[in-house]
Chain A
Amino acid sequence: MRKFITTLFAFAVALTAVVFICNRNYFPAKAKGNDGYMGAMVDKHHFADSHQSPRIIFCGGSNIAFGINSKRIQDSTGLPTVNLGTTGSLGLDFILNEARRTARLKDIIIISSEYYLSNDGSYAAKKEALRIYPPAGKYFKQTPQQWLHDFFVEDLQRNLTVTLSTLLHVQRKGFPTNVVYSRSSFNENGDVVRSFDPHPSHEFLKTFDLKYKLNPNIQLLNDFKDYADKNGMAVYFIYPSFPQSLYNANAKVIDAYERDMQSGIKIKILNHPKDALFADSLFYDTEYHLVPQGRELRTDKIIELLRKEKIARR
Chain B
Amino acid sequence: MLFNSLNFALFVPVVFALYWFVTQKNLTLQNLLLLVASYFFYACWDYRFLFLLIFSTLLDFFTGSKIFAAKTTAGKKFWLWLSVGINLGFLGVFKYYNFFAGSFSDLLSHFGMRAGFNTINVILPVGISFYTFHGLSYVFDIYRGRITPVKSFIEYSVFVSFFPLLVAGPIERATHLLPQIQQKRRFNYSQAVNGLKQILWGLFKKIAIADNCAEFANMIFNHHEQYPGSVLVMGALFFTIQIYCDFSGYSDIALGTARLFGMELLRNFAYPYFSRDIAEFWRRWHISLSSWFKDYLYIPLGGSKGGLWQRIRNTFIIFLVSGFWHGANWTFLAWGFLNAVYFLPLLLTNRNRSNMEIVAKGRLLPSLSEFLKMLLTFSLTVFAWIFFRAESIGQAFSYIGKIFSRSILTVPSGEAFEGASFHVVAIIILSIMFMLMEWLGREEQFAIAGTGMRWPKPARWAFYISIAVLTFYFTGVQQQFVYFQF
- Interface pair A160/B189, CB less than 8 Å apart: no
List residues of A (131-164) whose CB comes within 8 Å of B's CBs: 145, 148-149, 152-153, 156-157, 160
Q: How many chain A residues have a CB neighbour from B under 8 Å? A: 19
Query: Is the Cβ of B20 less than 8 Å from the Cβ of A1?
Result: yes
Interface residue SS majority, chain B: helix
**Is B147 engaged at the interface, CB distance under 8 Å to the other chain?**
no
A211 to B400, CA, bound (A): 42
* Interface residue A15 (Cβ < 8 Å from any Cβ of B): yes
* Given contact pairs A1-B187, A3-B189, A8-B196, A15 touches B468 in the complex (Cβ within 8 A): yes
CB 8 Å contact bits of B465-481 with A (1 = contact, 0 = none): 10011001101000000
In the bound complex, how far is the Cα of B4 from the Cα of A152, in angstroms?
14
- Cβ A4 vs Cβ B468 within 8 A: no
Interface residue A11 (Cβ < 8 Å from any Cβ of B) = yes
How far in angstroms is the closest Cβ of chain B from A147? 11
Q: Give the residues in chain B near A157, CB-CB below 8 Å.
A: 472-473, 475
Which residue on B lies nearest to A173, using beta carbons? B419
Interface string of A145-188 (1 = CB under 8 A from B): 10011001100110010000000000000000000000000000
B292 within 8 A of partner (CB): no
Please determine whether A14 and B461 come into contact, CB atoms closer than 8 angstroms.
Answer: yes
| Chain B CB within 8 A of A222 CB | no
Contacts of B461 in A (CB 8 A): 11, 14
Asked whether A22 is an interface residue with its Cβ less than 8 Å from the other chain, the reply is: yes
Task: Considering the complex, give the chain A residue whose CB is closest to the CB of B458.
Answer: A14
B483 interfacial by beta-carbon distance below 8 Å: no
Are A4 and B475 in contact (CB-based, < 8 A)? no
B side interface size, CB within 8 A: 15
B187 touching A4, Cβ below 8 Å: yes
A18 on the interface (CB 8 Å rule)? yes
Nearest chain-A residue to B464 (Cβ)?
A: A11
Complex Cα spacing A149 to B472, Å: 9
List chain A residues, Cβ under 8 A from B468: 15
Could you tell me if B6 and A156 are in contact, using CB atoms closer than 8 angstroms? Answer: no
Which B190-217 residues sit within 8 Å CB-CB of chain A? 192-193, 196
List residues of chain A with CB within 8 A of the CB of B469. 15, 18-19, 22, 156
A219 contacts the other chain (CB 8 A): no
Residues of B close to A3: CB separation below 8 A:
189
- Residues of B near A145 (CB, < 8 A) are 6
Once the chains are docked, how many angstroms separate the CA of A14 from the CA of B196?
Answer: 16
For window 2-19 of B, CB contacts with A under 8 Å fall at: 6
Q: Are B193 and A4 in contact (CB under 8 A)?
A: yes
- In Å, the complex CA distance between A157 and B107 comes to 52
B6 touches A4 (CB 8 A): no
The dominant DSSP class at the A interface is: helix
Is A7 engaged at the interface, CB distance under 8 Å to the other chain? Answer: yes
Bound Cα distance from A4 to B260, whole angstroms: 11
A208 to B235, CA, bound (A): 32
Taking the closest CB of chain A, its distance from the CB of B113, in whole angstroms, is 36
Q: Are A153 and B472 interface neighbours, CB within 8 A?
A: yes
Minimum distance in angstroms from A82 CB to a CB of chain B: 35
B76 to chain A, nearest CB (A): 46
Residues of B within 8 A of A160 (CB): 473
- Per the 8 Å Cβ criterion, residues 431-472 of B in contact with A are 461, 464-465, 468-469, 472
- Taking a contact as CB atoms under 8 Å apart, the answer to whether A153 and B475 are in contact is yes
Q: Name the residue of chain B whose CB is nearest to the CB of A156.
A: B472
Q: Report whether A19 and B189 are in contact in the complex, using a CB–CB cutoff of 8 Å.
A: no
A14 to B192, CA, bound (A): 19
List the A side residues contacting B189 at CB < 8 Å. Answer: 1, 3-4
CA distance A4 to B187 in the complex (A): 10
**Complex: how many Å from CA A153 to CA B203?**
14
Select one of A8, A15, A148 contacting B465, CB under 8 A: A15
Q: How far is the CA of A4 from the CA of B190 in the complex (A)?
A: 9
Contacts of B472 in A (CB 8 A): 19, 152-153, 156-157
CB pair B193 A14 closer than 8 Å = no
List the B side residues contacting A22 at CB < 8 Å: 469
B475 (CB) vs chain A CBs: closest residue: A153
State which of A7, A11, A156 has its C-beta within 8 Å of the C-beta of B473: A156
Chain A residue at minimal CB-CB distance from B17: A5
List residues of B whose CB falls within 8 A of some A CB: 6, 20, 187, 189, 192-193, 196, 461, 464-465, 468-469, 472-473, 475
Can you pick out 10 interface pairs between chain A and chain B where the beta carbons lie within 8 Å of each other?
Answer: A1-B187, A4-B193, A11-B464, A14-B465, A18-B469, A19-B469, A149-B6, A152-B472, A153-B472, A156-B473
Q: A residues touching B (Cβ–Cβ < 8 Å)?
A: 1, 3-4, 7-8, 11, 14-15, 18-19, 22, 145, 148-149, 152-153, 156-157, 160
Closest 7 CB pairs of A and B: A153-B475, A152-B472, A1-B187, A18-B465, A153-B472, A156-B472, A15-B465
Other A-B pairs, 20, CB within 8 Å; known A4-B193, A156-B473, A157-B475: A1-B189, A3-B189, A4-B187, A4-B189, A4-B192, A7-B193, A8-B196, A11-B461, A11-B464, A14-B461, A15-B468, A15-B469, A18-B465, A19-B469, A22-B469, A149-B6, A152-B472, A153-B472, A153-B475, A156-B472
